[in-house]
Amino acid sequence: MAVIDQLLQQKFHYKAFRPGQRATLTMLQQGQNVLAILPTGAGKTLIYQIYGELTHRPILIISPLLALMNDQVERMRYSGERRVVALNSTLDWSERQDVLTHLNRYRYLFVSPEMLANHQILKKFQKLSIGLFVIDEAHCISQWAIDFRPDYLNLAHVLKKLGQPQTLLLTATASQQVRADLQHKLRLPSLQTVVESINRPNIYLAVHHFNNETAKQNYLLQLLQKLTPSSGIIYFSSKKMANVMATAINRATNLATAAYHADLSNPDRYKIQQQFMNNQLQVICATTAFGMGINKPDVRFVIHYHLPQDLPSYQQEIGRGGRDGLPSLALLLYTDQDANLARQLNSLDQLTSVDLKAYQTKQLTQVAPQKQQLLRFYHHHRVTMEKLRIIFAQRAQQKQQAFQALLEYINQPGCRRKKLLASCSESFDQHDDDCCDNGIETEINADLYSSTSQPATNKPIIDWREIITKLF
């Protein structure tokens, strides 16, 4: 029996590898840099856990969100792995210093790109012999680096400073264009790719159109009454609307519901996550911050009240449903006003020539704080204003093309799964009645998604500070 099979069965207590896991580990054993494109819920974490056991060297994992880091750390500790830590803002100064002073205690270290932009922290990691540099949710490099999280662009520099350790990129969505972009941005001389189908056939795809907001709200409340007592996530692009609809759902249905977004404190967000995991909450009305790191198998529906950013993002978000393999619903609710709202939000986020001129002439009150931070990053890296104009004009064009593809998914007839998978460079030609509504609005069979959630547990919600203390 191969060593990786022994570890799988004897240490991690699984009988067999899931698709893509063995192929990725085999390439890593051969010393290759690997991009693994595997479906949501496919066990990507297990790959670097096993590799850490093989190499007996530190594994550094770059993770985009606190919730994702903390969830992975908690699950690894629950399975018996004590040599794991997340170095992030949940640690106070003394806790952070203790971790940095004793980095060699840990086999698995989770950090954000922003943390590694700190020169002093990077110097600490340079003293380690990193066995594997893992970038979880690697598509964030393409989606976020240019105009949202620029420190993702710094990862090529980080790799160089760490001595070009072997690199593993993990994602559930990456088109051919994104794959090439990842290798280019990280300046990897070679990158092997493991690609498994990201299709989730147990997720039914549907879109419903409405003439106005009131009709959409009424339909949602009526549908949720039929879906009781299922667990589900409803996505909003507006924090205000997430709050409004969470209140409305609590009043109109028997589904215990909470809003989740960036205005909540860390303790409140943690509490809501745990209540959802324990089935003490059935529905979360969330912005897209919710979901990464939430590995709840029995989510029966994922509803988008507002438009997702693009089709690859939609693929990621609906993939949080049906991880137990049972039927799950992915429903997008749409009015023409939603397209206008999405365009307005996109325009607010985009750096314009007006922003560039205001920053250049030091009229900073005219530039939003997040845009100032972005421009400071590029200024520090000596990117000229003319080059920035070109970069952001290209980025705006890419976003417009992605938005147009999203509208085609919503409005054009034909198999929705085929369109969705095509956005990630995967073909599909096996449409049937269980696949999607085929571009024709049909009534949702709520019975398929309303009877498979487990009853709420009486497990107490542990104080978040107690959890953090145990983790670190």
The b-or-e profile of 411-449 (16+ CB within 10 A means b, else e) is eeeebbbbbbbebbbbebeeeeeebbbbbeeeebebebb
Give tens-digit pLDDT for 151-184. 999 999 999 999 999 999 999 989 999 999 999 9
pLDDT band of 293, cuts 50, 70, 90: low
Place of tokens 């972005």: 374
Domains defined for the chain, CATH in brackets: 3-196 (3.40.50.300), 203-339+404-462 (3.40.50.300)
Instruction: Answer whether 254's CB lies under 8 Å from 371's CB.
Output: no
Mean pLDDT of 61-69: 90
Confidence band of 428 (pLDDT split at 50, 70, 90): very high
Three-state SS at 57: coil
3-state secondary structure 35-52: EEECCCCCCHHHHHHHHH
pLDDT in tens, 107-144: 999 999 999 999 999 999 999 999 999 999 999 999 88
